[in-house]
Structure 1
């Protein structure tokens, strides 16, 4: 395959993924034919890149997971409370842009593939929970793996059940902090001291 052909193939694949995101956002049951038409390609061309609809969805999940995993590695706060709040806020903002696609990824039919794709994020959450328990920031009446799993399930519920157009990161942040053991007053104080967590335009105090 020459360079021009490879470039065309890459462009077609990217176009298919973009079309799939757009169509699945409108209708999670969108067919391969609908996605191919949206991409301006034939059904045969689409199948040249993906074996079937499930393979296409798995690719969407994998590429989306890479973005979520990257967010997890971007959190550098040493305070576990701040780290959890910032992680929840950034994940929420990312999920809000692709909410229906994220909901599809979290559907039971794709849970195994999603879990594997998000393994780095899950490890980051588990480590954050352990750190918070060790320094006394988080509740210790639950084992770290259990608490981490509860936070994951909360995130899943928020992504799949909340209308991103009518809510903001504050909901996800406060829910995560509450699960970790902070009272609503403690969460209020934390967010008031660090407004940039839920409002990216706000000024953060010096570290």
Structure 2
């Protein structure tokens, strides 16, 4: 049996639904399926032809955002563990500034299990980076690597949840907070950021 690829209009409808969902949820995080469908210029029936329910739609938004975050994790290759952690944090923060709705959905407790699964590659990268930093003496060793990695995740989550990602100085705040949890003093974090000012510059 031959499996046919989705028709171009079906792909366009699906992409339109996802785009409309992001725009609609940015104004109303609790927007209904009906509102999202109208925003996409489609019927409720057409939307349900692509997604079983609202949660399925949100899960795909999270999955799409997670792919971008995971790709960022793969792109960081600095040999210096401190610089690698700072760069990873800064790039994730910059991405979050462009997909704030997806980031907010991912942080919602309702979707925490799906988010954790979707971000598994990123979490593995953080865990490996923490172990490397502890082994080379860059990061604190009074905590186990899994515990420290979890604290870094929670710190990043708290900062994202409470700070406007696009505000001035927000990227620097996020990087400094993560480096602090990793064990760097404020002077060490300041020296690192001063040596690499490009880390916290938001792209135009």
TM class, shorter-length: over 0.9
Name 1:118's counterpart in structure 2: 119
Name 1:16's counterpart in structure 2: 17
How far the C-alpha of 1:199 sits from its partner, in A, is 2.1
Superposed, 1:127-206 pairs within 5 Å as: 127-167=128-168, 168-199=170-201
Give the Cα–Cα distance (whole angstroms) in 1 for the partners of residues 46 and 122 of structure 2. 34
Name 1:93's counterpart in structure 2: 94
**Where do 5+ consecutive residues of structure 1 fail to align?**
202-207
Matched, 1:36 2:37: yes
Give the Cα–Cα distance (whole angstroms) in 1 for the partners of residues 200 and 164 of structure 2. 17
CA deviations on 1:153-206 (whole Å, 9 max, x unpaired) are: 1111111111223243101110011000000001111111111111267xxxxx
Where 2:61 maps in the other structure, the secondary structure is helix
CA contact (8 A) 1:105 1:114 kept: yes
Give the Cα–Cα distance (whole angstroms) in 2 for the partners of residues 32 and 57 of structure 1. 11
Name 2:70's counterpart in structure 1: 69
Give the Cα–Cα distance (whole angstroms) in 2 for the partners of residues 158 and 104 of structure 1. 15
Name 2:53's counterpart in structure 1: 52
Q: TM-score, normalised by structure 2?
A: 0.94
Q: Number of residue pairs matched? A: 200
CA contact (8 A) 1:99 1:164 kept: yes
CA deviations on 1:88-116 (whole Å, 9 max, x unpaired) are: 00000111122233111111110000000
CA contact (8 A) 1:19 1:38 kept: yes
Where 1:113 maps in the other structure, the secondary structure is helix
Give 4+ residue runs of structure 1 displaced > 4 Å after superposition: none
Q: TM-score, normalised by structure 1?
A: 0.93
CA contact (8 A) 1:170 1:198 kept: yes
Give the Cα–Cα distance (whole angstroms) in 1 for the partners of residues 44 and 152 of structure 2. 40
